[in-house]
């Protein structure tokens, strides 16, 4: 598998490119609108055809490149059914598997940061968006966030993956690029080392985070896939 991790510094967002060496089909996870020219350059340089852009959720901190990529190179947008982005081409639910060349992508519904959050499991890697971060997790005080639900998503879904599964988050603010399930189970300051649901909820309640910088423009834009658009989602249920 061809694999790249891209970093957008303004919002500290990671975007992932996964490509099949044989069919040259590719996907991008969590694109950023300002980086679309760069993604297209990279796809061309690697001789890859973009089939899907996958969102781990409707972002509040940056605008997705999904709509622009769809218009320019014909990729299809994928998002969870509960994410509130009916403009996507495919609306997926827990357990759905997408096949792109020899890449198998399994959808894991991991709500808590938002109610439409998904993680994507590809072989020994899991792309966790703003659910599980490296030594942290996404905030739960906006967009139907719920700390208890996030605790259940992480402990019952992500922490039950094999220990050596590589964790690729949606963001990192300290320069970390990858972790493992084993490392997060042991060391995650918010819910590692068998912290209880109550302890986790208490930690999240006390974070006192500032209002997200770009939420007022990013949310409505992302609910229309990065651009004003029409309804089009076809639902695939798992
Ligand atoms: Fe987010």
Torsion sign, CA atoms 143, 147, 149, 150: positive
What is each CA distance from 231 to 88, 182, 223, in whole angstroms? 8, 41, 11
Q: Say what the pLDDT of residue 223 is.
A: 86
Domains of the chain and CATH, by start:
2-207 (3.60.15.10)
* Rounded distance from Cα 87 to ligand 1 centre (Å): 18
* Rounded distance from Cα 162 to ligand 1 centre (Å): 25
* Rounded distance from Cα 140 to ligand 1 centre (Å): 9
* Rounded distance from Cα 61 to ligand 1 centre (Å): 6
> Which residue shows structure tokens 């609910």?
223
* Rounded distance from Cα 72 to ligand 1 centre (Å): 25
* Rounded distance from Cα 113 to ligand 1 centre (Å): 7
3-state secondary structure of 111: coil
* Rounded distance from Cα 22 to ligand 1 centre (Å): 33
103/168 Cα distance (integer angstroms): 16
Which of these, 42, 55, 47, 44, lies nearest to 20 by C-alpha position? Answer: 47
Q: Where are the beta strands (DSSP E) in the chain?
A: 2-8, 13-19, 25-29, 49-54, 76-80, 90-92, 97-100, 103-109, 118-122, 125-129, 132-133, 136-137, 166-169, 179-180, 234-236
pLDDT digits over 97-127, tens only? 999 999 999 999 999 999 999 999 999 999 9
Q: Say what the pLDDT of residue 231 is.
A: 52
* Rounded distance from Cα 156 to ligand 1 centre (Å): 21
| pTM higher than 0.85 | yes
Confidence of residue 61 (pLDDT cuts 50, 70, 90): confident
Angle at 141 between CA 59 and CA 207, to 5 degrees: 115
Q: Say what the pLDDT of residue 87 is.
A: 80
* Rounded distance from Cα 21 to ligand 1 centre (Å): 31
pLDDT digits over 31-40, tens only? 999 999 999 9
* Rounded distance from Cα 45 to ligand 1 centre (Å): 30
- pLDDT above 70 for 5: yes
Q: In sequence order, what are the residues at sequence separation of 6 or more whose Cβ sits closer than 8 angstroms to the Cβ of residue 119?
A: 56, 108, 110, 126, 127, 128, 129, 131, 132, 157, 158
């Amino acid at each position: 598998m061809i694999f790249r991790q891209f970093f957008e510094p303004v919002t500290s967002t990671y975007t992932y490119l996964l490509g099949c060496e044989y069919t040259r089909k590719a996907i991008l996870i969590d694109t950023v609108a300002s980086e679309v020219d760069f993604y297209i350059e990279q796809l061309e340089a690697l001789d890859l055809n973009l089939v899907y852009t996958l969102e781990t959720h409707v972002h509040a901190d940056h605008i997705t490149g999904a709509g622009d990529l769809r218009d320019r190179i014909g990729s299809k947008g994928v998002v969870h059914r509960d994410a509130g982005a009916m403009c996507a081409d495919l609306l997926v639910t827990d357990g759905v598997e997408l096949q792109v060349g020899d890449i198998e992508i399994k959808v894991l519904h991991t709500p808590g940061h938002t109610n439409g959050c998904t993680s994507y499991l590809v072989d020994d890697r899991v792309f966790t968006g703003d659910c599980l971060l490296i030594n942290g997790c996404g905030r739960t005080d906006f967009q139907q966030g719920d700390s208890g639900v996030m605790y259940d998503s992480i402990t019952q879904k992500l922490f039950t993956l094999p220990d050596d599964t590589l964790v690729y988050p949606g963001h990192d603010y300290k320069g970390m690029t990858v972790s493992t399930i084993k490392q997060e189970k042991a060391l995650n300051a918010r819910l590692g080392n068998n912290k209880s649901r109550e302890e986790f909820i208490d930690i999240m309640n006390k974070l006192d985070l500032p209002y997200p910088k770009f939420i007022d423009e990013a949310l409505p834009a992302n609910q229309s896939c990065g651009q004003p658009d029409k309804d089009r989602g076809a639902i695939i249920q798992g």
